[in-house]
Chain A
Amino acid sequence: MLGFLNASKRFRALRDRTPLGLLQLKHDRLRLLTAIAGITFADVLIFMQLGFADALFTSNTQYPRAIQADLVLISPQAKNFSNLRTFPKRRLYQALDVPGVATADAVNIGSKVWRNPQTREKSSLMMVGQNPDRAAFNLPEINQQIERTRLPDSFLFDQAARGDYEEMIAEVQQTGTAQTEIGVRTVTVTGLFTVGASFGDDGALITTNQNFFRHFPNRDAGTINLGMINVEPGHDILSVQADLIKHLPGDIQVLTQEGYVDFELNEIQSNSPIGFVFSLGSAMGFIVGIVIVYQVLSTDVNSHLSEYATFKAMGYRNSYLLGIVFEEAIILSICGFIPSLAVGIGIYSLTSAATSLPMAMTVGRAIVVFVLTVVMCGASGAIATQKLQSADPADIFS
């Protein structure tokens, strides 16, 4: 009770306090604008880096995330979804011997250059082959049209692919099919779906394993890229995983579905230089922000030294002056963050329209950047307050 009274008294004192930081900032508009522009710039930089990094992570793990299997088999040399290496198809049959394994299916992934039928330009597409009897991905759009991939050289095409495909898309929508070429083979697009480009590929084609191997004649048909295992109901996935690891030779990795997604994310974050570049970019934005805010706050402290010394002579504590600087820091972080959020949303939608990369402002990211901004301004404020020590009333007026 007493504590509560105390707190409400404190709150009243806080509300009643002259908002010196705010008044000081408002007094020097140019300085205020400089600071806000600087923070906005830093925040936009951070938003862009985080946005691109996230787009990289999401776009490169869209298919791994969508895999609907209890366990995933890949080669120990696997790098990522578009570079999984191969392992013998025989491992799938061996896996079926393990108690609890219900199904084992192959998925094959390869990169194919095709000619855009509209622009005649070459672009690189990812081709995925699956067992049409057991859909590999939890993507209803694809699974509803899976029957249309059974015919030779028939493909489902990602209409969110990077590049101009309007004519072909319109043709498929109107007539149900469109013809184009991959290498020397004529192929038929028999359906459309929407996933989006990744950094590595402009889009994707989905078909059966059979069709897949028609386009990769040099690949050993006895090898596959990825195995999908489903566990019989009533069996524990983790113990089946353990049994598989025991039963299968060492040329195979057995991962749970989540484990496989983590494997993909980890590979992008740690093994690709792009992940590092984006972290570095965000850190740069953060540092730029600190430098700018520090400049503004320390200039502000410097130009008010004699006023602060007067306050000290009147009996104000040092903490009161610290309060002024931190008040300014908080105001700046809010005023700088809001425009950066607007700019960030704009840049995201421009970028996703221009590059087909999935970029959107999430509440989580907005919060993260806002917290970073507060930390950034708070840190600069903390450095700037060191100058307050020189606001000594005895020395300034003698």
Chain B
Amino acid sequence: MTQQPVIQSQNLNHYFGSGKLRKQVLFDINIKISAGEIVIMTGPSGSGKTTLLTLMGGLRSAQSGSLVVLGKELSGISNTGLVKARRSNGYIFQAHNLHGSLTALENVQMGLEVHGLFDKKARHQKAAEMLEQVGLGDRIHYLPSGLSGGQKQRVAIARALVSRPKIVLADEPTAALDKKSGRDVVNIMHDLAKDQGCTILLVTHDNRILDIADRIVYMEDGRLSKPPAASAAAKVDKVATP
């Protein structure tokens, strides 16, 4: 079964700053991620993981090399193209970033409103179902201030997944959570993604959640490399090469 990869990069480089201050943070990134795969990316702080994720999510524009996401070349894309590209993936941040004036339900339906496909009633119904699935069916009318950290992150996941995106990009989604809620959140992501058949790329420092991955990639100094022995040893049989 040869499947078209949903994310594919070739010789992707990225620089911050300009002139004398120009600094390269990504070097010749080559990665292929197939549909339905759950990929975890680890690596030391400052190695460029977030930068790569923001490029894939269309949050910033790729500068050199090639980055094809869902068949669309993001390198050198126009600003409007970038905004459109953002709509095809669900982005989960380390901070939940829920809108404080909106209830859980309203926050989640914002993930649908951006597509302009459903009317208000349909949006609210789908959002309620989604919240049900992340175990917050009884909290749909709560404001974020009335929810715990784990619950807020679950709302954020519901918001990212409610539009059934092909790709979910998650940047340390469990960093602000305790062990148990971190585990819950990851399990929910895993189950929902398997349900919807979407591809997940998850950046984490949390070794306890590596087991949900189909594949683990390691980033160091802006380059993808083999994981160091310590973390690889535990998971070596899990690291599948499709």
**Interface residues in chain A, defined as those with a beta carbon under 8 Å from any beta carbon in chain B:** 12-13, 16-18, 20, 23-24, 26-28, 304, 306-307, 309-317, 393-394, 397-398
Contacts and interface: CB of A to CB of B under 8 A. Distances in A.
A307 B120 contact: no
B102 to A, nearest CB: 6
B114 A17 contact: no
Secondary structure at the A interface, as helix, strand, loop or mixed, is helix
Nearest to B51: A398
B209 interface: no
Contact of B94 (A12, A317, A397): A397
B84 A16 contact: no
A23 B102 contact: yes
Contacts of B19: none
Given A313-B57, A314-B86, A20 B119 contact: no
Contacts of A24: 101
B86 A315 contact: yes
Nearest to B91: A313
Given A313-B57, A394-B60, A397-B50, A18 B109 contact: yes
Contacts of B159: 314
B56 to A, nearest CB: 12
Interface residues of B, number: 32
Contacts of B97: 306-307, 309-310
B116 interface: yes
A181 B50 CA distance: 94
Contacts of B116: 13
B212 interface: no
Contacts of B85: 315
Contact of A26 (B54, B84, B93, B101): B101
Contacts of A27: 100-101
Contacts of A310: 93, 97, 99
Contact of A17 (B93, B101, B113): B113
Given A18-B120, A311-B114, A393-B54, 16 more contacts: A17-B113, A20-B99, A20-B101, A23-B102, A24-B101, A306-B97, A307-B97, A307-B99, A312-B86, A313-B59, A314-B86, A314-B91, A314-B114, A397-B50, A397-B94, A397-B95
